[in-house]
Structures are given as structure tokens and as C-alpha cells.
């Protein structure tokens, strides 16, 4: 408690809200963990929506002590491309860094990281979700350096350009033009830090900063339904198994007006445009350059959680490098989505947090 009090004395404004948010969730998860065994905790994690609801009363109580409500948190996370919750959990008793996307090794530190992520998402009105077509539908995946050669091993070491996740899925509030069962892409990407010995940066490009660098004509091109969007590589194998083919959108827009905000979907290698569509192609070049000129972000230290708004921010990372395993960089990733308007057809009945496809 004293460490927290010393920390917040140096913070003001939105940083102070972020610190209170982190403290409230950390406190709630600690109370939850004290009363149950490891096995019971793992069982409750398998039902993240129920766990999130269980954590909310303690989160509300901790926020109220600081004259905040969950409505304040919701307002905060929809007004910025990302927030960093420092020291949200203790990454204790970790095994060596895994060398595969899944499963997440069972340990006290990974348990607390996952429960805290679920609590963070519940506090801002979201459910923790996964997609059946990506990484076997696992709710949490390891973001680590992978051994060997090949596409995914190479990709795990390289930097990543700014992108949004699940780019070929509809943004919330829209429907896939050919298959209404296709679920919305996530509202938030949630990254939990377990190890980061080389202080690798997670980069974030706030959409509002990007658009300020673009002319009105470029913005109009991005809103025009003239692009084709492929699925990202981590989804393609699962798409083949579930849908029989990769999900590709035709005549799609990249930029949307939603409730007074601009929302974006974008991934450099997944956006295709006809050679004849000169304006559309030039808009992509301008958008990419504006993203590069708008990079901010954070170093996710052990115990930190980074919430990236997948509608109003693009994210990437600097080069990772290093050897796999050992004490190398290790993040956990899950997604958060507002699910109130979704139908049962979007879910797998045996695993409710897993969305179709």
C-alpha cells in the first residue's frame, strides 16, 4: 500500500486515473486469490465472464474510495489509444519462457496475470474473448520468441508495423456481408507483461494523431468501400478448417464514423487494392507514412498490463531479438469485446468465450 501511495503522489490527471484503475483491479484479484486454491482459481478462469462479474464488487469498492466509478474508466479508455496499468499484478514463480503460442504454463504468476486481465476488461464493460480460428481458440496466448526457422519463428523476432487485430472481421455494429455468423473484431487488445529483459517497446499509433497528418481527400478515400482485406496469418489455418477458405472482404472500407469517433481497421500486408485505383493506393501510402510519424507506446514491464484500443489505435512493436526460452521476453495476450448486442450464433456453445469463426 505504501508503495502505491508514493507512486500516485507524482501523478496527475489521466495518469492518476490509470493508477487508481490498476490498484482497484490488483486489490480485487488479490482478495479473490486469497480465498481459493490454485485448482479452484484455474477452474474459475475457464469461465472468464463469471470471474469478471465476481471481481466487480471489490473493484467498485476500491474505486469508490478514490471517488471514481467504472463509468470514469470507460470514458478514459475510449478517449485514448492505450493505457498502461503499471504494477497491476505480481509475476511470481514463473517457469522458463515458453517457446510456443500455447498453452500458457500454469504458475502463480501466469494465473495472476490472466485473472487481472479478466478483471481489467470486466471493469470497462468488456468480456475476455478469443476466436476459434486463431491459436486453437485459446483465451490467452504467449507472445514469445520462437525457435527454429520459418514464417512464425522469423515473425516472432521482427518488429511489427502498426495494425489492428482480426482485421478481416467486421467492426462492432456491422455485419459480414456474406456470413452473419462472423463475429466482430475485438474492441481491445490486452497485453500482460511477464518478462521484458531488453525493454522491447510496444508501439501504438493513436488514430487521432494519424488522421491529423492526412488531407481530407485521403481520409475520404479510406472511408470509400474499395479495398480488399485478407485475414492475418495467425487466422488463416483456422479459417481453412472452420470456413473451408480464408475470410477475405471485398469492397471494404478501412475508416468509419462511429458515434462521433473515427474507427480504423488496418494491417499493412492484408490490404489489397486494384492497380487502377490510384487514389486508393496513394491513400494507403499516405496513411502508412502518417502512422510512422505518429508512433508512441510503452515498455511493458513485468507486472504491467497494456490495454490497446483496437478501434482508435494501431499497435506494433520494435525488434525483439534474443534467444528463445530462458528468461526472454514473454507477454500474454487476450482480447476484450463489448458483447451485449451479439447473438448466440457468434459463440461456440461448449466454450462461450470463444467466438466464431
Residue-wise pLDDT for 1-21, tens only, equals 544 554 554 565 789 999 999
- The stretch 242-268 carries a mean pLDDT of 98
| Cα angle, residue 135 at apex, residues 350 and 288 outer, rounded to 5° | 130
Tell me, yes or no, whether 25 lies in a domain.
Answer: yes
Sign of CA dihedral 306, 311, 317, 323: positive
Tell me, yes or no, whether 241 lies in a domain.
Answer: no
The more confidently predicted of residues 154 and 351 is 351
Question: Measuring CA to CA, which residue among 354, 18, 14 is closest to residue 186?
Answer: 354
Tell me how far CA of residue 101 lies from CA of 29, 142, 153, 166, 234, in angstroms.
Answer: 25, 5, 11, 17, 10
Q: What is the spatial distance between Cα 234 and Cα 33, in angstroms, rounded to a whole number?
A: 33
What sections of the chain are H helices per DSSP? 2-8, 13-34, 38-45, 48-64, 70-77, 108-123, 151-157, 207-212, 216-223, 233-243, 278-292
Residue-wise pLDDT for 176-219, tens only, equals 999 999 999 999 999 999 999 999 999 999 999 999 999 999 99
- 27: domain CATH number is 3.60.130.10
**Structure-block grid coordinates of residue 268:** 499493412
pLDDT at 149: 83
User: Do 203 and 297 touch, CB atoms closer than 8 A?
Assistant: yes
Torsion of Cα atoms, 62 then 63 then 69 then 71, to 10°: -100
239 Cα distance to chain centroid: 20
Tell me, yes or no, whether 207 lies in a domain.
Answer: no
Residue-wise pLDDT for 277-312, tens only, equals 999 999 999 999 999 999 998 999 999 999 999 999
Phi/psi region, residue 326 (left: phi>0; alpha: psi -120 to 50; beta: rest), is: left
User: 334 has which bridge partners?
Assistant: 190
Q: What is the spatial distance between Cα 158 and Cα 143, in angstroms, rounded to a whole number?
A: 12
Tell me, yes or no, whether 219 lies in a domain.
Answer: no
Question: Measuring CA to CA, which residue among 242, 239, 162, 172 is closest to residue 202?
Answer: 162
Tell me, yes or no, whether 40 lies in a domain.
Answer: yes
What sections of 65-184 are H helices per DSSP? 70-77, 108-123, 151-157
Residue-wise pLDDT for 133-184, tens only, equals 999 999 999 999 999 888 788 889 899 999 999 999 999 999 999 999 999 9
User: Do 355 and 132 touch, CB atoms closer than 8 A?
Assistant: yes
pLDDT at 167: 99
Question: Measuring CA to CA, which residue among 11, 89, 57 is closest to residue 331?
Answer: 89
The residue segments making up the domain with residue 27 are: 2-199+300-319+327-355
User: Do 111 and 327 touch, CB atoms closer than 8 A?
Assistant: no
**For residue 345, how many other CB atoms are within 10 A of its CB?**
11
**Structure-block grid coordinates of residue 256:** 468509419
Say if residue 246's pLDDT is above 70: yes
Residue-wise pLDDT for 25-70, tens only, equals 999 999 999 989 999 999 999 999 999 999 999 999 999 999 999 9
**For residue 89, how many other CB atoms are within 10 A of its CB?**
30
User: Do 199 and 306 touch, CB atoms closer than 8 A?
Assistant: no
Q: What is the spatial distance between Cα 305 and Cα 333, in angstroms, rounded to a whole number?
A: 10
Tell me, yes or no, whether 152 lies in a domain.
Answer: yes
Count the domains in the chain: 1
Tell me how far CA of residue 83 lies from CA of 53, 103, 140, 206, 296, in angstroms.
Answer: 22, 27, 20, 11, 12
Tell me, yes or no, whether 225 lies in a domain.
Answer: no
Query: What is the total residue count of the chain?
Result: 357
Amino acid at each position: 500500500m505504501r508503495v502505491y501511495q508514493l507512486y500516485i503522489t507524482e501523478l496527475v490527471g489521466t495518469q492518476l486515473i490509470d493508477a487508481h484503475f490498476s490498484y482497484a483491479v490488483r486489490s480485487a484479484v488479490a482478495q479473490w486469490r486469497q480465498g481459493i486454491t490454485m485448482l479452484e482459481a484455474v477452474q474459475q478462469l475457464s469461465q472468464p465472464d463469471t470471474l469478471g462479474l465476481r471481481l466487480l464488487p471489490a473493484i467498485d469498492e476500491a474505486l469508490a474510495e478514490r471517488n471514481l466509478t467504472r463509468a470514469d474508466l470507460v470514458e478514459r479508455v475510449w478517449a485514448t489509444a492505450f493505457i498502461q496499468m503499471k504494477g497491476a499484478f505480481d509475476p511470481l514463480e514463473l517457469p522458463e519462457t515458453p517457446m510456443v503460442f500455447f498453452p500458457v504454463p500454469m504458475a502463480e504468476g501466469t494465473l495472476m496475470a490472466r485473472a487481472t486481465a479478466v478483471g481489467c476488461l470486466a471493469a470497462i464493460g468488456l468480456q475476455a474473448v478469443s476466436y476459434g480460428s486463431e491459436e486453437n481458440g485459446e483465451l490467452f496466448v504467449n507472445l514469445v520468441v520462437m525457435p527454429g526457422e520459418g514464417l512464425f519463428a522469423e515473425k516472432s523476432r521482427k518488429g511489427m508495423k502498426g495494425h489492428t487485430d482480426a482485421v478481416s472481421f467486421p467492426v462492432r455494429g456491422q455485419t459480414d456481408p456474406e456470413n452473419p455468423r462472423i463475429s466482430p473484431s475485438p474492441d481491445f487488445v490486452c497485453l500482460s507483461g511477464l518478462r521484458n529483459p531488453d525493454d522491447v517497446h510496444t508501439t501504438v499509433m493513436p488514430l487521432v494523431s494519424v488522421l491529423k497528418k492526412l488531407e481530407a481527400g485521403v481520409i475520404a478515400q479510406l472511408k470509400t468501400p474499395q479495398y480488399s482485406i485478407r485475414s492475418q496469418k495467425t487466422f488463416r489455418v483456422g479459417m481453412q478448417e472452420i470456413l473451408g477458405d480464408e475470410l477475405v472482404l471485398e469492397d471494404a472500407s478501412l475508416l468509419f464514423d462511429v458515434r462521433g469517433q473515427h474507427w480504423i481497421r488496418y494491417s499493412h500486408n492484408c490490404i489489397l487494392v486494384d492497380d487502377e485505383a490510384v487514389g486508393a493506393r496513394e491513400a494507403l501510402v499516405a496513411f502508412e507514412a502518417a502512422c510512422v510519424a505518429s508512433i508512441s507506446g510503452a515498455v511493458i514491464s513485468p507486472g504491467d498490463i497494456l490495454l490497446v484500443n483496437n478501434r482508435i489505435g494501431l499497435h506494433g512493436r520494435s525488434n525483439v531479438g534474443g534467444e528463445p526460452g530462458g528468461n526472454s521476453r514473454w507477454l500474454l495476450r487476450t482480447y476484450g469485446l463489448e458483447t451485449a448486442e451479439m447473438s448466440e450464433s457468434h459463440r461456440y456453445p461448449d466454450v462461450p468465450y470463444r467466438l466464431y469463426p
